[in-house]
Structure 1
Amino acid sequence: MSALPMSALPDSNGLLILPRIRVQNANAISSPITHGFPSITAFLGLQWALERKLLGKFPVVFDSIGVVCHDYEEQTAKGGYTKSFCLTRNPIEKDGSTAAIVEEGRIHLDITLLLGISGGCIPDFTEDERAAFAYEVAETVARMRIAGGSVVPGRHGARGKPQLVLVPLSTDAAEANNEFRLLRRRWLPGFALVSRDDLLARRWESLKKNNPRATKFDALLDLSRLNWRPGPAADANDPQKTVEWLPERKDGWIVPMPVGYGALAQFQAGAVEQARDLRAPFSFVESLYSAGQWISPHRLGSWRDLLWYGRADTETGLYRACNDYVQPTTVELPY
């Protein structure tokens, strides 16, 4: 949880849509204290890995990524009020002893990925070139891992065909809004993950009114759990009247989520043994947390609302995934 100032979303001139991707056994443990959906940093990692694989084929830059979840199935076993992950038994050691069981959370996903793309050649692409580019990227993603999970081959029907859309959709605001309405219908039914740092900041300010020592982590816990609050105070003239306890009304499907990493200690290259790259500086990190929200795509005001992008502050040692979603002030009809 950090208030690190970040720059705005990069100016993309292309939006690549990879619809209805089925992922099997993705990582369901997103951080040391959260589970249920892969971390958004895992999708940013996919974005950068995809750019490296396509380097030399297309002079483009993948600068942001968004995810819409259509279906999920977390691999858990239910036992009363508690759940446990379905684990696999590891092979025995060389000496015949039993290997330790490492807890791994897995989840099956049905998602749509949206990639913001920058490149001077994109506006010059013909319709056939855009289709070929989208197909090439889709085929590359099909051979990659998404959040540690395997991509399951699917049928490319009308709902599963990759598409490269030029953005902005139109210079006219009304026409662009209408085109985005038609575009976002393809992502239904589903839910898009957006950032709600504003809710966390407001909850923290509210807690400090009653407890000046309240921290942002207290605000995150209070925002994430189901809270019961006392209703209207009892009538002083009616001592028999009891206080009614009511569940706190949420502003939507609010979830705690990891949004990046903060450096704890930094070392020179080669100072830490068994590091992945002994030629690069090494740093121990801890997770950064904030609040997110799952919203239906028909409530998005712009394609920019669902895209995430990474920013790093080397001076403070913070790496953070950012999203510029702003809650609309008016209720918009879905169609």
Structure 2
Amino acid sequence: MSYLIVLPHIQVENANAISGLTYGFPAITHFLGFTHALSRQVQQSHGLRFTGCGVVCHKHQVQAYQASERGDHYFALTRIPLTREAKTAPFNEEGRMHMTVTLFAECEGSIAHGDTGARELEQHLHTLCVAQRLAGGTVTAMKPVRVMALPQNGDELQNITRREMYRALPGFALVDRSELLAQHFTERQTQDPQAEMIDAWLDFSTITFRAEQQEDDSVQWQYQPKLAKGYLVPLMVGFTPISPLYAPGDVAKTRDPSTPFRFVEAAYGVGEWRSPHRVTDIHQLIWRYPAGTEHYICSHAKPLQEADLTEQDHSDF
């Protein structure tokens, strides 16, 4: 049986704001890792397993400041103590942020003792959540956890989706739109066979102006609309291998010498921040990580279709 676990309004301090080449919000792998850690604990205590996670952000505050008139922003870094030689110690730059998010976890299994067991599970999950870190940040508070049965389709599923999405307001849900990246890359290749995927990806993250000559021979800079409608953002969606799979112990200084090891690099896609009240099926909000494949690319089990977009969704941002 499937259940929906709602972890509402989790307040996190000093979460990681840098994800590979992107910054401003943690990678989706952080949230799937958080629910996977919960899954491992409730699997031992309750025999349940979390299979996916949806994310709605209510508040976010990147710890940065504007240091010049040009508008350049810099991360507010923690002061590192001096070395014994009274010199500044070397360190890696860390981007931090505060945020409030609601997570929707899809759960498989059977909850014993009906409503009583569900209430006990809610208390147990609340205790686990506040004791864990989310995206490297500290969980300071959260609202009571909700557990409910999750039908796969039908009117009941629509009612649950509508109720939970309106409860998630105000906020924005993060959905996968990587199919737009694949489509745009194909179009670029038809025009330029030497085009690379990184160029297509940067087209979704850059703000473009073009100089257009006017009738009086003057030139004005005109903003160029994005490639597609919606609040589209570049997104880190997982990892892809760059080396063969080494046997346990072949690579020195690994975290777990008893587990096979492989070198990987970050993989990127395109996401969209969408108002929750425009989500018509909660399964379209659930991100999942793959199993049994070489590439660790997170995506939706039920991809968003163009038919799911309303006229309001096509408004230009």
Give the TM-score of the pair, scaled to structure 1: 0.83
Deviates more, 1:77-86 or 1:201-210: 201-210
1:168 pairs with 2:151: yes
Residue of structure 2 in register with 1:23 after alignment: 12
CA distance in 2, matches of 1:256, 1:89: 30
Alignment of 1:253-332 (within 5 A): 253-266=231-244, 267-314=246-293, 317-323=294-300, 324-329=302-307, 330-331=309-310
Shift of residue 130, structure 1, vs aligned partner: 1.2
Deviations 1:90-148 (A, max 9, x none): 234467654213200101010101110000x23x6522321221221121010000010
| One-letter amino acid of the counterpart of residue 71, structure 1 | K
SS at 1:17 equivalent? strand
Q: Using a 3 Å threshold, how does the CA distance of structure 1 residues 117 and 147 change in structure 2: closer, same or farther?
A: same
Residue of structure 2 in register with 1:66 after alignment: 54
Aligned 8 A contact 1:16 1:114 in 2:
yes
Deviations 1:257-306 (A, max 9, x none): 11111111132211222111111111111111111111011010111111
CA distance in 1, matches of 2:180, 2:306: 14
Partner residue of 1:107 out of 93, 97, 108: 97
> How many aligned positions are there?
307
Deviates more, 1:195-204 or 1:238-247: 238-247
Q: Using a 3 Å threshold, how does the CA distance of structure 1 residues 96 and 252 change in structure 2: closer, same or farther?
A: same
1:213 pairs with 2:213: no
Partner residue of 2:229 out of 251, 274, 294: 251
Aligned 8 A contact 2:42 2:49 in 1:
no
CA distance in 2, matches of 1:283, 1:97: 37
Deviates more, 1:319-328 or 1:302-311: 319-328
CA distance in 2, matches of 1:87, 1:143: 25
Shift of residue 214, structure 1, vs aligned partner: 1.2
Alignment of 1:4-43 (within 5 A): 13-31=2-20, 33-43=21-31
CA distance in 1, matches of 2:217, 2:268: 45
Aligned 8 A contact 1:312 1:320 in 2:
no
SS at 1:226 equivalent? coil
Residue of structure 2 in register with 1:75 after alignment: 63
Q: Using a 3 Å threshold, how does the CA distance of structure 1 residues 27 and 242 change in structure 2: closer, same or farther?
A: closer
Aligned 8 A contact 1:16 1:164 in 2:
yes
Aligned 8 A contact 2:130 2:140 in 1:
yes
Q: Using a 3 Å threshold, how does the CA distance of structure 1 residues 145 and 179 change in structure 2: closer, same or farther?
A: closer
Partner residue of 1:118 out of 90, 93, 108: 108
Residue of structure 2 in register with 1:184 after alignment: 165
1:130 pairs with 2:118: yes
Q: Using a 3 Å threshold, how does the CA distance of structure 1 residues 93 and 277 change in structure 2: closer, same or farther?
A: farther
Shift of residue 223, structure 1, vs aligned partner: 1.8
1:86 pairs with 2:76: yes
1:195 pairs with 2:176: yes
Q: Gaps spanning 5+ residues in structure 2: where?
A: none
SS at 2:116 equivalent? helix
| One-letter amino acid of the counterpart of residue 208, structure 2 | N
Residue of structure 2 in register with 1:224 after alignment: 205
Deviates more, 1:296-305 or 1:52-61: 52-61
| One-letter amino acid of the counterpart of residue 178, structure 1 | N
Shift of residue 254, structure 1, vs aligned partner: 0.7
Q: Using a 3 Å threshold, how does the CA distance of structure 1 residues 273 and 92 change in structure 2: closer, same or farther?
A: farther
Residue of structure 2 in register with 1:8 after alignment: none
Partner residue of 2:141 out of 143, 147, 153: 153
